[in-house]
Amino acid sequence: MTKHKKSSRFIVSLLIFSLLLIGMAWSLPAQEKKVITFWGQKGGANQTREAAQRKMFEKFEEENPNVDVKPQFFPFNELVKKTNLAIGSKSAPDVVYADAPLIGSYVRAGALMPLDEYYTEEELNKFVSSSVDTATVNDHFYGPPESSSALALLYNKEMFREVGIDPEEVPVKLENAWTLFEWLPKWKKLTRDTNGDGQTDVFGLGRTFDPSTYSTLPLIRSFGTYKGSPTYQAVSPDGTSVDGYLNTEKAIEGFQFFQDLFQEWEVANVTPIAEILATGRAATVISTERTLLNIKDNYPEMAKKIGIAPIPYAYTPITHAGSFHYTVSKYTKHPEAAAKLAKFMGNEWSAKLMWERVGQVPARKDTLESIEAYQSYPRRVFMETLREWSVARPQTPGYAEYKNYVQNAMKDIRDGANVENRVAQMVKNTDRALKKYKEE
Amino acid sequence: MLSRISKLASELWQDRLENFYGWMFVLPALIGVLIFRAWPMIRAFFLSFTSYSLIFGDANFIGVANYVEMFTSSRFYSSILVTFQYTFMRVIAEVLLALIIALILRKGGPFVKAVRITVFLPVVTSLVAAAVVWKLMYHPIFGIVNGFLNAVGLPTQDFLASVTQALPSLTATVVWKHVGFSVIIFLSGLNAIPRQFYEAAEVDGANKVQQFFHVTLPLIKRTLMYVIVITTIFSFKVLGPVYVMTQGGPRGATRLLVYNIYETGFQAMRLGYASTLSVVMFLILAVFTFFQIRLLRSEVEY
């Protein structure tokens, strides 16, 4: 009986103790997780990018157990449109994955938070300067780059031999790179009708896409006779006018040269052809590292024939750089956590992971130096171009308008429009659209 | 007297109740129309007087500046011209082709079902998928159309990259895609014509051509009007094939009004100015439809 009494007492006290513990736990303020939202790219070549970012979130959550990252991924075009709309309606995600040239517009819209206090001068110096310039508006830094990009000329060595050009003669160093005028006779020679049906089968300079501000505008800007010349700048310093920048004598010369490639000399294809270099329909293309990686992955035989040379230019060498940046919404409920995540996504570990998964040239100097592939030819060309020749795309708060009018004009010029008239129309339309930023 | 008054009152009440129920039934649809149709139109009208940008969300009032810009923009006039050219080509081609196919199908025969399916299949195909396939078919190097031309000794054509050929090529794609829809409407119109009219015409000695012009055509005038009006409206609204196949090029040869609006609003992010273009497009369409309906009003009833 005593034994039974004892055990009953023990059970009752255990119950009371457990209830007390539960009660204490209940009364403790539950530690809420901070939810950080993010929208990224998905689909096609971006699958590996999505995987890399998911891995970054896993590691970040491990290191910061009080943060829960909620990502969503969209196709590229949809992402940019969705982000633009969200910026306008003040409903952007906490960490805004901003396309480099749009950062200025987002800042102007008052949508981003400066991250100056999270970066020391030394930390900023770890990024290539063009990437820092892209994300710096009115002396404030808005977020680290995911990676960067640079253009180079990829060429088919075998085709060079077939037309009697020694591929070994092609300079691979920046200091003795061929200009557009030196490349032109080669492109003419390389453009061929191989089956005698009167149609061009191999283009000297292949085009896989319609003209864009990223890949085509550097050709025009390179007609500027010195760095900082109006043609090289391509927009006024305050980003509100292109008059006197895109319609200079040199810019017109550049647009005319661009048109002649398609219409007069017919060395470039008017209708874009996908995988034009990989499938042997062009002897050269101007493209990013992604083309080289695609050929290596999917056309291993062709990859053995490919060489890399610096991007051709007219008077001043130039390439556009920049990819996406991790910026922080001004309206986030958790500025500290969001800024911490943005900084984490731009750190050396993340940059290396992104390079391993996506293969795009990193925007961090330390990562660039630590990757063996960039220390030797051919990928060294991309690294050196990025470090020496790269600049941000023209910086204007009205980049969407700028891009639309300039790209349309370049398309029309490619298709044979009168160069002077079309440039005049483009300048008029662009300036009219950018005027509102001047007045504000 | 009193009973008459109470009867009248009760009838009035019944009428009101019936009206009330009627309104209740249409209310859900009415709310939808007001929110998703009427309100955006009113809002677009107001936005057309602002410098509204999708990124900035700043609808600053700028008076008639957008209208001034539009009326002094060569791009606007060229997109109007291209839209009219496209509409004219498409309506003529689609209506004629649909009518001919419908007349053949009405006759019957062993292959009617197969032809009907073949003609209607593109209608249920995704527009974007069809446009992508046609774009490949028109390709100067890989395209099957050029393959056929070369096979019969004709030179390669740069269909979508040629200023003169891009719009007709685009129109051909859209006609192929939509003709089945018009065929179905014509067929229902043709089948509704009573046989007696043809029998009477035959008795009067009318041949097939005379029967078509004096019996068929007047009696399907209403159907014809419907097809023309709806095809015209569809033509003004076309966007998908332009976006996929030409992006408005070459040199603006296929920059139709809606594509111009899309480009201005969603690529250049100038939603205020894009709204101005939309308002004008609405007015053009309204005037166009009004005159079409008046011109093609049927005078024959049966």
Which chain B residues are Cβ-neighbours of A416 within 8 angstroms? 163, 250-251
B160 touches chain A (CB under 8 A): yes
With CB atoms and an 8 Å threshold, state whether B249 touches A412: yes
Closest Cβ opposite residue B140 in set A271, A400, A408: A271
Task: Give the mean model confidence (pLDDT) for residues A313-326.
Answer: 93
Residue B40 CA to residue A161 CA, distance in Å, equals 62
What percent of chain B clears pLDDT 70, i.e. is strictly above it?
A: 97
pLDDT digits (tens, 9 = 90+) for B66-114: 999 999 888 899 999 999 999 999 999 999 999 999 998 888 777 788 8
**B132/chain A closest Cα distance in angstroms:** 14
Cβ(A414)–Cβ(A422) below 8 Å: no
Task: Give the mean model confidence (pLDDT) for residues A403-415.
Answer: 93
- CA A33 to each of CA A70, A115, A345, A417, B208: distance values in angstroms, whole numbers, following the listed order: 12, 23, 20, 58, 81
> Do β-strands A390-391 and A319-320 pair in parallel, antiparallel, or remain unpaired?
parallel
Residue A378 has pLDDT above 70, yes or no: yes
With CB atoms and an 8 Å threshold, state whether B251 touches A425: no
Q: What is the per-residue pLDDT for A373?
A: 87
With CB atoms and an 8 Å threshold, state whether B141 touches A404: no
Cβ(B82)–Cβ(B223) below 8 Å: no
Task: Give the mean model confidence (pLDDT) for residues B133-153.
Answer: 89
Among A180-189, B41-50, B156-165, B179-188, whose mean pLDDT is lowest?
Answer: B156-165
- Looking at every residue in chain B, the average pLDDT score rounds to 88
Residue A122 has pLDDT above 80, yes or no: yes
Residue A16 has pLDDT above 80, yes or no: no
DSSP A344-384: HHTSHHHHHHHHHHH-PPPSBHHHHHH-GGGGSTTHHHHHH
Among A16-30, A127-141, A223-237, B169-183, whose mean pLDDT is lowest?
Answer: A16-30
With CB atoms and an 8 Å threshold, state whether B163 touches A102: no
With CB atoms and an 8 Å threshold, state whether A109 touches B55: yes
Residue B263 CA to residue B277 CA, distance in Å, equals 11
Among B49, B50, B51, B53, which would you mutate to test the A interface (most chain A Cβ atoms within 10 Å of its Cβ)? Answer: B53
Residue B203 CA to residue B132 CA, distance in Å, equals 52
Residue B123 has pLDDT above 50, yes or no: yes
Residue A270 CA to residue A259 CA, distance in Å, equals 10
Peptide bond into B250 cis (omega under 30): yes
Chain A residue nearest residue B268, CA to CA: A401
Residue A324 has pLDDT above 60, yes or no: yes
pLDDT digits (tens, 9 = 90+) for A46-78: 678 899 999 999 999 999 999 999 999 998 878
Residue A433 CA to residue B269 CA, distance in Å, equals 10
CA angle A110, A116, A119 (to 5 degrees): 145
Residue A4 has pLDDT above 70, yes or no: no
Residue B58 CA to residue B52 CA, distance in Å, equals 5
Q: What is the per-residue pLDDT for B257?
A: 93
Structure tokens belonging to residue A251: 């810019």
With CB atoms and an 8 Å threshold, state whether B251 touches A416: yes
The complex's ipTM works out to 0.70
pLDDT digits (tens, 9 = 90+) for B211-266: 888 888 888 888 898 899 889 888 988 999 999 999 887 888 999 999 999 989 88
Looking at per-residue pLDDT, the higher value among A14 and A420 belongs to: A420
Structure tokens belonging to residue A214: 């990223």
pLDDT digits (tens, 9 = 90+) for B9-34: 888 888 888 889 999 999 999 999 99
Confidence of residue B55 (pLDDT cuts 50, 70, 90): confident
Structure tokens belonging to residue B166: 């891009």
Confidence of residue A323 (pLDDT cuts 50, 70, 90): confident
Looking at this protein, which amino acid is placed at residue A327? T
Among A62-66, A119-123, A338-342, B157-161, whose mean pLDDT is lowest?
Answer: B157-161
With CB atoms and an 8 Å threshold, state whether B74 touches A106: no
Confidence of residue A22 (pLDDT cuts 50, 70, 90): low
Q: What is the per-residue pLDDT for A1?
A: 45
- How many CA atoms within 13 Å lie on the side-chain side of B45? 7
Task: Give the mean model confidence (pLDDT) for residues B193-207.
Answer: 86
- Looking at every residue in chain A, the average pLDDT score rounds to 89
E strand residue ranges, A279-429: 282-287, 306-310, 319-320, 324-328, 390-391
Looking at per-residue pLDDT, the higher value among B12 and A106 belongs to: A106
**B65/chain A closest Cα distance in angstroms:** 11
Among A11-15, A95-99, B253-257, whose mean pLDDT is lowest?
Answer: A11-15
Which chain B residues are Cβ-neighbours of A85 within 8 angstroms? 54
- Sign of the C-alpha dihedral, residues A210, A173, A323, A257? negative
Q: What is the per-residue pLDDT for A45?
A: 64
**Alpha-helix residue ranges (DSSP H) falling in chain B:** 2-33, 39-47, 65-71, 74-107, 112-124, 127-137, 144-151, 166-191, 195-203, 208-211, 217-219, 221-237, 240-245, 257-262, 271-295
Closest Cβ opposite residue B54 in set A88, A90, A404: A88
Q: What is the per-residue pLDDT for A394?
A: 92
| Beta pairing partners, A71 | A38
Residue B119 has pLDDT above 70, yes or no: yes
The DSSP code for A196 is: S
Interface A-B, measured as beta-carbon pairs within 8 A, has a size of 83
Task: Give the mean model confidence (pLDDT) for residues A17-27.
Answer: 58
Residue A354 has pLDDT above 80, yes or no: yes
